[in-house]
A and B are shown apart, each in its own frame.
Chain A
Amino acid sequence: MPLLEIQGLSKAFGGLRAINGLDIHVDEGEIVSVIGPNGAGKTTFFNLITGMDGPDEGSIVFDGQNIVGLRPNQILQLGMARTFQNVRLFPAMTVLENVMVGQHSRTKAGLFGAIFKTPSQRREEAAIEEKAKEVLSFFGTRLAGYRHDQLSMMLSYANRRRLEIARAMATDPRLLLLDEPTAGMNPRETIELTELIGRLRTEKGYTIVIIEHDMQVVRNVSDRVVVLDHGVKLIEGTYDEVSTNEKVIEAYLGRPAELGA
């Protein structure tokens, strides 16, 4: 049974059909890339499955449960975490705090615990911190100790993207949704991140859906590629199948006739 199964998903913004009757499934342990030209509905797709936006039609079944209509925090609790295309950290919080927020849904201390410093609250607080540090250590020296107390706004662009992944990891997800994780990175950083995505599956056991424009990354990480255009699934298959497909080339480059043939 697939971990995520989407059927007949549709969403319109006014007259624009951003997503139109989409069927996608993701199996446990897979890395699926979603590609497509700008405006194809990729980010809308992420917003719909994480509950940040409600679909007009269709069903989204995650781990056997229909999640349409749930709040984003409830969906996260079920084990689905995402990053954002236009990095959205908590800028005036420290690197460590950003990651610690990720543990919110997995912990339960209340305000009374915080005010009276109960033993269980202190234990939990220590566990949250340890977990956050462990997650950050996954990124090697990039987000190493001395950065933990820096505000996240101080980080370089690439580090912000890494921190967003760390924050998502701290929520203990089963399915990780990465929205253009290499956008704005230089070639060296892109290669580093490509390796990291592989490690996320092998070491952490996440199932991953990734939106990406960089075809090198797509080729290197994906088991399966789904191509979207105008909210419709154009084709899906392995990278090689997809990259040679006529319709995909047309969607990206325009019709051959327009090229002057």
Chain B
Amino acid sequence: MARVVDPPTAVEAGLRPTPPIGMRRAVRLGLSGGAAAVLVAATGIVSTFQPRMVIDPIVPLGVLFLYLVVFAFGWIAAQPPPTLEGFAPPVIGLRNVMAGALAGLLTGLCVGLLLVLMNVFNLRGVFIELSPELSKILSFGFAVGVGVALIALVSTVVGALGGGVHLLPRRLRRSLMPALVWVIVFSLLTDLFGQLFTGLSLDFMVDLFYTSRGGALTIVGALVVFVVFFTLYWFLGGRERGLRETVEAMPRERRMRLQIGLIAVVLVVLYFIPRLMGPFVSQILVDAGIYLLMALGLNIVVGYAGLLDLGYVAFFAVGAYAGAILTSPQSPAFAPEMTLVAALPFVMIAAAIAGIVVATPVIRMRGDYLAIVTLGFGEIARILLNSEWLSPYFGGAQGITNIPDLRIGPLTFSTPQDYFYPVFLFVLLAAYITLAVQKSRWGRAWMAMREDESVAEAMGVNIVTAKLSAFVVGAVLASFGGALFGSQIGSVFPHSFDIVVSITILVIIIVGGMGSVPGVTVGALVLILLPNLLREFSEFRFLFYGVLLIVMMLKRPEGFIPSKRRAQELHSEELAQDAWLEIYGEKGSTEPVPEGKA
């Protein structure tokens, strides 16, 4: 008996309506938003940042932060459900605004409750940040009763606005929201943009944009930024296809030319960056670059080969110490005083040996067990370097100082601006190696090992060689980072090689996107560069870190820019397509094949 099923293109009829936005969900989100807003107020974020203006003098950061939370939860509460197969697209309308307003109101009431409580009871014994100033900020300077009403009103409006965003046409929404985000970015990264304008000899722009160097954005500045970015996004949004598809649709030759052009542009920009940015920002970039270099190395070990290495800092330490011993005249036992360039091959050999030493005992181990053993190695490395026993060689807690600057022929690298170039040269090298190896015999062997170690072995992959080589490649890349780090700082101490470094590098990979070079780069920028540029918020750094990690793991576990295959893992349409082909037999035939017959 032939089962009659519409082909995928003709499913139009018989669509079920998508259920409307749930008000219960809005209530739940409103209360969650309330908890978040209360947390923001009680941790002191609001009162600390109230004096800091985003747009001088109308938008203070403290209150903006609080109501951004309200806005975000209103927006989420009004988010239309995804269109599922067999369902009509969701209807977007007043109900979205209502849901947003409801969530906003509830969030506001929670903040209002906090305001009442902190005025009725003295909570400062426990929550030191619940100060009278906070009370004044929350109530907009009015009495408590009026304040609560105002909070509820403003929150409802802000929540409704958040919900109302969904009503905007797609193109408008996609221009408006990023433009607003850029205004905030310009205000928060005032040091960076101020330096950039100065570097470009556009000092008048600094005066136009900012109230003072390192100060808030002016109203004019905010308007300019908004208009420029709105226009930019508006025109970009007019394209029919996304950037990625456009590039992928290009013929091979044009795509190659585009890639070469892009690389050239990136190189030119990289060349000018340290000159424009000055020592402060350059130092931050060098730090981020060294982390990025190591993250790319660990990406091969964890992202490709699937070997969870929690002691990666050991290889960083080996590189730093090998470089220090070979180049510094003050290294205790052994001071050949080579140049760093001449020492580099020996640093690589030392790192390769360290890689083999770590890999050998874990050859027959997998997953968690492997992670714990490598964790042990990381700590052993640090403790040995710190030990009295080996201090004749490594200097113990005093470390090794007086490491000379990097010299290549007549060039001497001493300032952070100078170090930017070698660091990024190695980053590019690591990125190239990552990409080159991906489509090669050993790259595939590593991935096969990550997917299923026993099957990989049964299919001919020598697991011993595969594990050793992955560890060695990772170790060598980390050792480059270590050698540059030591040379730039001028000294190495055991306490620089803490377990936290290993964890940070791992988090960069996970948040950025495992197995993807752009992802790892973004991860390093977000987790290393950004926090260092936002020094004025350093008090709350780990709070933001934590929030970012939790949100990422819940909402985007594959990372910011996942590798294509990890992104594909989340697509299921192809499975449905397969089901169609099963019913219709071979691709191309239009006759449904009777079930159970050939």
Binding site for B on A (CB under 8 A): 50-52, 71-73, 76-77, 81-82, 84, 88-94, 97, 100-107, 109-111, 113-115, 117, 121, 124-125, 128, 141, 144, 146, 150-151, 153-156, 158-159, 167-168, 171, 186-188, 191-192
Contacts and interface: CB of A to CB of B under 8 A. Distances in A.
B587 interface: yes
Interface of B: 432-433, 436-437, 439-445, 447-448, 451-452, 454-463, 469, 473, 565-566, 568-569, 571, 574-575, 578-579, 581-582, 586-588, 593, 595-598
A91 B451 contact: yes
B459 A111 contact: no
A128 B441 contact: yes
B447 A97 contact: yes
A156 B579 contact: yes
Contacts of B596: 186-188
Nearest to B472: A111
Contact of A159 (B578, B588, B597): B578
B440 A121 contact: yes
A93 B565 contact: yes
B441 A88 contact: no
B461 A151 contact: no
Given A153-B569, A188-B598, A104 B437 contact: no
* Chain A residues touching B, majority SS: helix
A141 B587 contact: yes
A102 B598 contact: no
Contacts of A92: 447, 451, 565-566, 569
Nearest to A172: B460
B458 A50 contact: yes
Contact of A104 (B444, B566, B574, B587): B444
Given A88-B452, A192-B598, A93 B444 contact: yes
Given A90-B455, A94-B565, A117-B436, A102 B460 contact: yes
Contact of B442 (A84, A88, A111): A111
Contacts of A151: 565, 568-569
A186 B578 CA distance: 15
9 contacts: A50-B458, A73-B459, A81-B459, A92-B447, A101-B460, A104-B441, A154-B571, A167-B459, A171-B459
Contact of B457 (A71, A109, A111): A71
Given A73-B462, A114-B442, A155 B578 contact: yes
Residue among B460, B463, B469 facing the most chain A CB atoms (10 A cut-off): B460
Nearest to B596: A187
A236 to B, nearest CB: 26
A97 B593 CA distance: 31
A104 B456 CA distance: 10
B442 A73 contact: no
Contacts of B582: 156, 158
Contacts of B440: 109, 111, 113-114, 121, 125
A101 B451 CA distance: 12
